[in-house]
Structure 1
Amino acid sequence: MSRICELTGKGRQVGNNVSHANNKTKRTFLPNLQNVTLISDALGKSVKLRVSTHGLRSVEHVGGLDNWLLKTRDDQLSLRARRLKREVRKKVAGTEAAA
């Protein structure tokens, strides 16, 4: 399981530990990933995703998973999130056509 947020694409970063003597050693900074269950209103089901806490706050700020997926570019999303976005877009387009 890779250490990448499925919604924002946030992954690990590389930097240095710097000692008091100014010695530098390589280290990695990992994102704070959480396994969460988000509810899709359009699909009427819940989806399990591995999301960073920053991504989770962004989803809440935009107004839910469906809004987040529709506003985000495909190149920033994981494969699972792109498939979910396709399903949501299809469902939303179907409900607008029926109305």
Structure 2
Amino acid sequence: MHSTLCLFAKKHITQHLRRGLLGGIRAKYLYPIKEPKLVLPSPPKPLKNKKEKKTVPWKIQMTYKQSLKGLYGGKHIQFGNKISEFGNKSRRTWKPNVQKVKLFSEALNERITIKSTPAALKYIDRKGGLDKYMLSMKDNELGKKMYDLKYKIKSKLVDPDRERRGLAKLGVTMNGGESEISVSHVEH
């Protein structure tokens, strides 16, 4: 018997044989044919609840994610061709002119460093300052960082004397810019 046939010598008596390689009578190897197994149908799977996509109020985008971290005024990366003297074309990109700018927020009373484009700075000037510009923007036009800044500004503008009331609870009174701390003595 052939060496590979020895492996199947016991099985080939009871099983059908399939001829290997060319499948003719002079085939070099004989392989046993596996009978298909009977498979019972599996029980039906329980229906899965459709997962609702988590929606966030700020902007999410797949391309040019850098623009989510600053005020870009609608500017984004652009694509086109570089054409040589001889007419050869190769792909190239134009990126927006991004600058780090310190802008003053009247509501927060501090200077904030923001990445911005000249187009966005132009819109900020037209609106009359960073605070007014941020409040005029829709939530889905801003990235996470600028969304947070917008609501920090909004919370200060809605309740401007929040700090004074917080100090009043502690026993601090404000008189013409000067603070007096009234401490009540507790006698035992």
TM-score interval for Structure 1 and Structure 2 normalised by the shorter chain: 0.7 to 0.9
One-letter amino acid of the structure 2 residue matched with residue 69 of structure 1: M
Quick one: which of 83, 90, 99 aligns to 1:25?
90
Q: Counterpart of 2:79? A: 14
How many residues of Structure 1 are paired with residues of Structure 2 in the alignment? Answer: 96
Q: Work out the CA distance in 1 between the residues paired with 2:143 and 2:74.
A: 7
Q: Work out the CA distance in 1 between the residues paired with 2:134 and 2:89.
A: 40
Q: Work out the CA distance in 2 between the residues paired with 1:53 and 1:36.
A: 10
Gaps of 5+ in 1: none
Whether 2:102 is the aligned partner of 1:37: answer yes
Q: Work out the CA distance in 2 between the residues paired with 1:49 and 1:55.
A: 11
Quick one: which of 48, 55, 74 aligns to 2:120?
55
Q: Work out the CA distance in 2 between the residues paired with 1:88 and 1:80.
A: 13
CA RMSD of aligned residues (A): 2.2
Q: Work out the CA distance in 2 between the residues paired with 1:16 and 1:10.
A: 19
Q: After superposition, give the CA deviation of every residue in 1:32-56 in whole Å (9 maximum; x if it has no partner).
A: 1110001000111111011011111
One-letter amino acid of the structure 1 residue matched with residue 70 of structure 2: E
Higher mean displacement: 50-59 or 18-27: 18-27
Q: Counterpart of 2:144? A: 79
Higher relative contact order (CA 8 A, sep 6+): 1
One-letter amino acid of the structure 2 residue matched with residue 6 of structure 1: G
Higher mean displacement: 18-27 or 29-38: 18-27
Gaps of 5+ in 2: 1-64, 162-188
More helix by share: 1
Preserved contact between residue 17 and residue 25 of structure 1 (Cα < 8 Å): yes
Q: Work out the CA distance in 1 between the residues paired with 2:66 and 2:118.
A: 13
